[in-house]
Amino acid sequence: MHDDEKFLFHSRLSFAMNSKILSPKEVIQAVLDHFYDKTTNINISQVEGFIRQIVGWREYMRGIYWKEMPEYKQLNSLKNTNKLPDFFWSGKTKMNCLKKAIGQSLDVAYAHHIQRLMVIGNFSLLTQIDPDEVDKWYLGVYIDAIEWVEITNTRGMSQFADGGIVATKPYVSSANYINKMSTYCGNCHYSHAQKIGEKACPFNSLYWNFLAEKKEHFKDNQRMNMMMALLDKMDGNKLAEIQERAALIIKIPDDF
């Protein structure tokens, strides 16, 4: 994720495929033809990754939709009920990653996968927003949003509202990971390295608060063991301070 790049290495073909202007088979064939053309110089990992998104993830989501709907639309396994912050409709926030990802989504109706998942979806889940609200926002904002491929990604992959049908663990992260994967943190009001204090990145308080609040819910999920073990090691007073700040962010996200 890059402050100055909206599309970077992404194809922007989802709208054309979802609206049936292009068939996925046609797209894959074109990529394979290019790969096998001896005059080009593309390596197999580039081709494999791209094709896997289409024959893998896209078809998997389609299968889940037709298998699980209409019940899927009602699922809210974590019982999240908070409202969407106002800044989702303006991009006006001091959190640079959200400002950039939401701002460009509103401007050009596009954000690439990691912006949708690691920034906007992550924040929505950590602030425990009602998945109905999250769904409506994604469905309303993105050019490629058609229910079968939107709801499975939003409610399933990103919000874990389906209790693990699509993914095996919730996709949550602190600022550390966003910093590794982007240029956003270097240009932010907040410090990605701080967990407490006025300048501490809200994602840090929210992340540890989420783990603490959902500890019981995820006690049998093996994939959460490592995260929970780190939580257990945290000093009680520090965790209390983190949770106090997280409660404030959840209550008035637009102030952050």
Ligand X SMILES: Cc1cc2nc3c(=O)[nH]c(=O)nc-3n(C[C@H](O)[C@H](O)[C@H](O)COP(=O)(O)OP(=O)(O)OC[C@H]3O[C@@H](n4cnc5c(N)ncnc54)[C@H](O)[C@@H]3O)c2cc1C
Instruction: Enumerate binding residues for ligand SF4 (CB under 6 A).
Output: 95-97, 175, 178-179, 184-185, 188, 190, 192, 201-203
| Residue 123 near which of ligand X, ligand SF4, none (CB within 5-8 Å, type-dependent) | none
Q: From the list ligand SF4, ligand X, none, pick the one residue 184 interacts with, judged by a Cβ distance below 5 to 8 Å according to partner type.
A: ligand SF4
**What is the contact mask toward ligand X in residues 187 to 226, using x (rule: CB under 6 A)?**
----------------------------------------
- Give the long-range contacts of residues 138-142, CB within 8 A, separation 24 or more: 141/105, 141/106, 141/109, 142/105, 142/109, 142/110, 142/111, 142/116
Min. distance of Cβ 63 from ligand SF4 in angstroms? 33
User: In the complex with ligand X, which residue's Cβ is closer, 61 or 206?
Assistant: 61
Q: Is 115 exposed, middle or buried (0-12, 13-18, 19+ CB in 10 A)?
A: buried
- First-last CA distance in the chain: 21
Q: Does 132 participate in binding ligand X (rule CB under 6 A)?
A: no
Helices (H), 10-117: 14-18, 24-36, 44-51, 59-68, 96-108, 113-114
Distance of CA 114 to the CA centre of its chain: 6
Binding site for ligand X (CB under 6 A): 10-14, 17-18, 50, 53-54, 57-58, 61, 112-113, 116-117, 121, 138, 142, 144-145, 149-150, 153-154, 157-158
